[in-house]
A and B are shown apart, each in its own frame.
Chain A
Amino acid sequence: MMTPRQAAFRAGYRPRISPWYSGTVHVLLIAALGLATIIYCARHVQNPVWTDWLVLPLTLFGTNVFEWAMHRFLMHRPVKGFMGIYKRHTLAHHQFFTDHEVSFDDTRDFRITFFPPYALSLFICMSAAGAYLLHFVWSTNAAWLLVCSTSFMYLNYEFFHWGCHVKNDGIIRRIPLMNTIRRHHIAHHNQSIMMNVNMNLTYPIADWLFRTTDLDRGLLGHVFNGCDTRYVRRDLKKARNSAPDSRLAKV
């Protein structure tokens, strides 16, 4: 159940969203840009050999560590030059969504759920720079497959994150991998542990690798944990000196 503090933050945040904002357009823009990039790049792949395909597992692992590192070192830490992402995430997203109430109410709440569409453009540019280098050291096919797969992983991230914050989890609880990340991410929204634990948003591989996880089990157990809470660590941090909810959130 939502605390008065969280309710106050939501009540203060929502009027700040522009009346021109459309959550549906926001999502369509991300999906259109991501899918167009995937299709465009895939059409350039010509007669790939097996070594070209090796870029796919490497990208899966690389983007997994990248999402973990972004979340761990920038989204939850005030770092000079990257304050925008910290404010948007720790000071807004984590005040709006807590483990007491993790769901959005309607599509206008997408403003604080999804990254802005320009983030994907930036991500594609970074990926294209890497692909340019890959074209010389590996192959042209590998370069196209890199941009294709990183764009796919970005959409995967946004889709799974949506699945973590959607209200009705009746279907998601039955979808392997997606149910894992929903439990994993809702636990992360516990404000006692949000600064240190459960930083992955797609598959909890880097969290397992770098021991920033709330689970005590192996890699496969992490990835296919689903909604199981039997393996949650007992030594997780409990926050102290909590202010009573009479000290309501300022927006």
Chain B
Amino acid sequence: MKHYEGGRSLAGAEVTVDGHPLDPRYDLKRLSPTGFEWTYEGAGPAQLALALLADHLGDDVKALALHDAFMRALIADLDNSWELTSDEIDAALKGIAG
């Protein structure tokens, strides 16, 4: 099970997966050239949603299809400093499908 963490600092809005920086996956879609953000709906949260789903699902096509709904369902509500597990992402995806 993977563990994702995010927090804001002077270095930026940073996100890690198991302690390593999360790839924003600009190769899939460049939604936010300025990187990740969260706690609202917009470009930065959408880039984070895409990157999280691509890493978690290992399926780029699914990640592209689901990232917008996932952003609205979960990323827009994340706290200033947050953590997520694979199980919690699965639960959010179930909520979107249901």
Contacts and interface: CB of A to CB of B under 8 A. Distances in A.
Contacts, number: 87
Interface stretch (A33-41, A57-65, A84-92, A123-131): A84-92
A195 B81 contact: no
Interface stretch (B20-28, B37-45, B53-61, B62-70): B37-45
B37 A191 contact: no
Nearest to A239: B79
A192 B78 CA distance: 8
B12 A241 contact: no
Contact of B35 (A9, A78, A92): A78
A56 B55 CA distance: 55
Contact of A195 (B12, B39, B84): B39
A87 B35 CA distance: 13
A78 B82 contact: no
A249 B11 CA distance: 11
A194 interface: yes
A194 B39 contact: yes
Given A77-B44, A192-B39, A195-B40, A240 B79 contact: yes
B51 to A, nearest CB: 15
Given A240-B79, A241-B84, A242-B81, A191 B39 contact: yes
B7 A247 contact: yes
Interface string B66-77: 000000001001
A18 to B, nearest CB: 15
Bin the interface of chain B by size. Answer: 20 to 34
A76 to B, nearest CB: 8
B18 to A, nearest CB: 14
Nearest to B33: A80
Contacts of B37: 77-78
B86 interface: no
B19 to A, nearest CB: 12
A192 to B, nearest CB: 7
B35 to A, nearest CB: 6
A8 to B, nearest CB: 10
A194 B44 CA distance: 16
From A83, A90, A194, A240, name the one whose CB has the most chain B CB atoms within 10 angstroms: A240
Interface of A: 5, 9, 13, 76-80, 83, 87, 90-92, 94-95, 191-192, 194-196, 237-243, 247, 249-251
25 contacts: A13-B10, A76-B40, A78-B13, A78-B37, A80-B34, A87-B10, A90-B8, A91-B9, A95-B9, A196-B39, A237-B77, A239-B82, A240-B74, A240-B78, A241-B74, A241-B77, A241-B78, A241-B84, A242-B82, A243-B6, A243-B83, A249-B7, A249-B9, A250-B7, A251-B9
Given A78-B35, A243-B83, 6 more contacts: A78-B32, A78-B34, A90-B8, A95-B8, A240-B79, A240-B82
